[in-house]
A and B are shown apart, each in its own frame.
Chain A
Amino acid sequence: MRFTSIIDAIGHTPLVELRSYSPRTGVRVFAKLEGHNPTGSLKDRIAKFMIDQAEREGLLTRDKVILEPTSGNTGISLAMIARVKGYRLKVVMPENVSPERVDMLRLFGAEIVFSSGEKGTNGSIEVAQRMVSEDARYFMPYQYGNLANPQAHYDTTAQEIIDDLPEIDMFVAGLGTGGTLMGVGRCLKDHNPQVKVLAAVPHPGELIFGLRNLDEGFIPPIVDLDLLDGRIVVESEDAFRSTRELTEREGIFAGVSSGAVMACAKRLASRMDKGSIVALLADGGWKYLSSQLWTRSYEDMGQETQDMVWW
């Protein structure tokens, strides 16, 4: 395939059947490998849509600095696109993310503002919102409230899934901004209202010390919880184990949130008599190598690893 720009090479990721994950004849599990995008995650899709839309609407101009809160992947995608298009980018990111995320942002020329690790990505959102309200030079795509985020998945990710597997019965993906679940979920339900849409969410562990009370939780404005058919929480340890198992059983090298999604897909597949599940694997494993999750036991990885933001 030939493209005129790396930005045009976003999307069209493989859908791969995971035969070892089939619990019985007639139940099939497929993985959508979003790590095959140019910067290695599904966020390339939404970064492209958000930037294109902002340019069309005149919100993003040469004099602006793009500012975005992120746990990493969206920042990296925006950084790549900002490089190609010649924009300045600043990201606000929790201080406790994997070093690979920091390195990738820097190699694409992004500036990084670190927010408190104890507040996770919720804290990055607070800081970015304050910065944007105080300085008119900033343009914030704001993936949590920007409808171009789910639209990217409605128009591309979901369409690719339907093209490859029109008989899909169930879709499971991680809930971070909700963009994937909302966009893919709506399109799949438009395609066939019987399709079930399930969210995997990370157990925040002790990471929530920084929140003063439960009311400081955050549900992205683009999320409509009624669109979902269920939500399953996955402990970090299970996500890690599952990430490693995916590599051992299927030769697929994916990130930690993908492990959580696979843990859910297994649980859902075990309850099905027949049908096809698509598990969306948001990124590749490259950005998590420093955690040594493929080579060390979870117990040996230490508290430091357990207190990190993984998605």
Chain B
Amino acid sequence: MAAEVRIPSLLRGQVGGSRSIQASGPTVGHALDDIEARFPGFKERVIDPNGTIKQFVSIFINGEDVRYIQSLDTPLQDGDQVSILPAVAGG
């Protein structure tokens, strides 16, 4: 399954400056592994050493936070759009 992963400005240096890259895999976690294979060091910016999504990072698939779906095991379908975003406050 190939998804478009949108890269926040903070992480673009890690992936050669791209705003978005194609990544494949059956789940969100596999897609991140796919990016890591091409751009070593990418994954540790997003995922903790224990394998969970970092506290201040959210991963959205088609706009919905994967935390409330199946986290990194959330299945990917062709054409899905994945966004990685830092937590920001309002108020």
Could you list which residues of chain A lie within 8 angstroms of chain B, going by C-beta atoms?
A: 43, 70-71, 73-74, 120-122, 125, 143-144, 174-177, 179, 201-204, 206-209, 211-220, 225, 228-234, 257, 267, 309, 311
Q: Is the pair B68, A176 in contact by a Cβ cutoff of 8 Å?
A: no
Residues of A within 8 A of B9 (CB): 206, 208-209
Residues of B within 8 A of A201 (CB): 58, 88
* Neighbour of A216 across the interface among B56, B58, B83, B90, CB < 8 A: B56
- Report the minimal beta-carbon distance from B57 to chain A, rounded to whole angstroms: 5
Q: Is the pair A231, B11 in contact by a Cβ cutoff of 8 Å?
A: no
Q: Is the pair B56, A174 in contact by a Cβ cutoff of 8 Å?
A: no
Residues of B within 8 A of A229 (CB): 68
Residues of A within 8 A of B11 (CB): 214
Q: Is the pair A213, B45 in contact by a Cβ cutoff of 8 Å?
A: yes
Q: Which of B1-40 contact A (CB under 8 A)?
A: 8-11
- Report the minimal beta-carbon distance from B44 to chain A, rounded to whole angstroms: 11
* Neighbour of A232 across the interface among B8, B46, B65, B89, CB < 8 A: B65
Q: Is the pair B91, A176 in contact by a Cβ cutoff of 8 Å?
A: yes
Residues of B within 8 A of A125 (CB): 89
Residues of A within 8 A of B57 (CB): 214, 217
A74 to B91 CA separation, bound complex (whole angstroms): 6
Q: A211 and B10 in contact (CB under 8 A), knowing A203-B83, A216-B86, A218-B56?
A: yes
Q: Is the pair B45, A122 in contact by a Cβ cutoff of 8 Å?
A: no
Q: A204 and B88 in contact (CB under 8 A), knowing A214-B10, A217-B56, A233-B83?
A: yes
Residues of A within 8 A of B55 (CB): 217, 219
Could you pull out 24 A-B pairs where Cβ atoms are within 8 angstroms?
A43-B91, A71-B91, A121-B89, A177-B89, A201-B58, A204-B88, A208-B88, A211-B86, A212-B10, A214-B10, A214-B46, A215-B54, A216-B56, A217-B55, A217-B57, A217-B86, A220-B89, A230-B64, A231-B68, A232-B60, A233-B65, A233-B83, A257-B90, A267-B63
Q: Is the pair B65, A215 in contact by a Cβ cutoff of 8 Å?
A: no
Residues of B within 8 A of A206 (CB): 9
A241 to B83 CA separation, bound complex (whole angstroms): 21
- Report the minimal beta-carbon distance from B20 to chain A, rounded to whole angstroms: 14
Q: Which of B53-91 contact A (CB under 8 A)?
A: 54-58, 60, 63-65, 67-68, 83-91
Residues of A within 8 A of B91 (CB): 43, 70-71, 73-74, 121, 143-144, 176-177, 179, 311
Q: Is the pair B67, A233 in contact by a Cβ cutoff of 8 Å?
A: no
Q: Is the pair B90, A175 in contact by a Cβ cutoff of 8 Å?
A: yes
Known pairs A177-B91, A225-B67, A309-B90. 17 more at Cβ < 8 A? A74-B91, A120-B89, A121-B89, A144-B91, A175-B90, A201-B88, A202-B90, A208-B9, A214-B11, A214-B54, A215-B54, A217-B56, A218-B88, A219-B87, A230-B65, A232-B60, A232-B65
